[in-house]
Amino acid sequence: MPQAERLGQDALPAALAGQKAPQKWIEQVPVPDEEDTGHQHLYRRLVTAVADWRLRQGITGTDPLGQAPKTTAPPEWQHLSQALDLYRTARITDRLQLLRVRREADRERLEAAARQAAEAGTRPPPTPRPARAPHAHAAPAAADAGEHCRASTAPGGSF
């Protein structure tokens, strides 16, 4: 099996398992969903095609295609660049849609809970807020405040 194909085959299981990519540049290609076999197939083909390009052009570094050519880009570079952009855009669009669906489901769940609480004549419990750490320049605690003031005004104190 050629090196580029092997890299494409190895990259997908590593990505799906959340492991380190076989090469750093592969991290620039969004990981497909575990359930989406179509995106997995595209991911494998894209990684294989880019790996082949990189091997033939001697490209190193984290940018999948390397620097854009200074003159007119070769058709293959343009094709791969467009394929990467389209794949990234598709993954971002899919993830945004998933977030919209989750947000809508959360909204419906919260509205249903509020309606149930209103029908029952009770208020829903307040959402707990995370505790904040005291600010570094906050005043001393009340128990320490008296001691702080006495120390500051004592002879040789800071006042």
What confidence score (pLDDT) does residue 75 get? 86
Q: Rounded CA gap, 20 and 42, in Å?
A: 20
Which helix (H) or strand (E) segment holds residue 145: the answer is: helix 142-153
- By CB neighbour count within 10 A (0-12 exposed, 13-18 middle, 19+ buried), where does 81 fall? middle
Q: Using CA atoms, how far apart are residues 43 and 38, in angstroms rounded to an integer?
A: 9
Q: In the prediction, which pLDDT does 140 show?
A: 46
pLDDT digits (tens, 9 = 90+) for 3-33: 999 999 999 999 999 999 999 999 999 999 8
Q: What is the pTM of this model?
A: 0.63
Q: What is the token pair recorded at 143? A: 């128990």
Question: Do 83 and 46 touch, CB atoms closer than 8 A?
Answer: yes
pLDDT digits (tens, 9 = 90+) for 87-113: 999 999 988 999 999 999 999 999 999
Tokens of 6: 């092997």
Token pair in block for residue 9: 């085959």
Count Cα atoms within 13 angstroms, Cβ side, for 158. Answer: 5
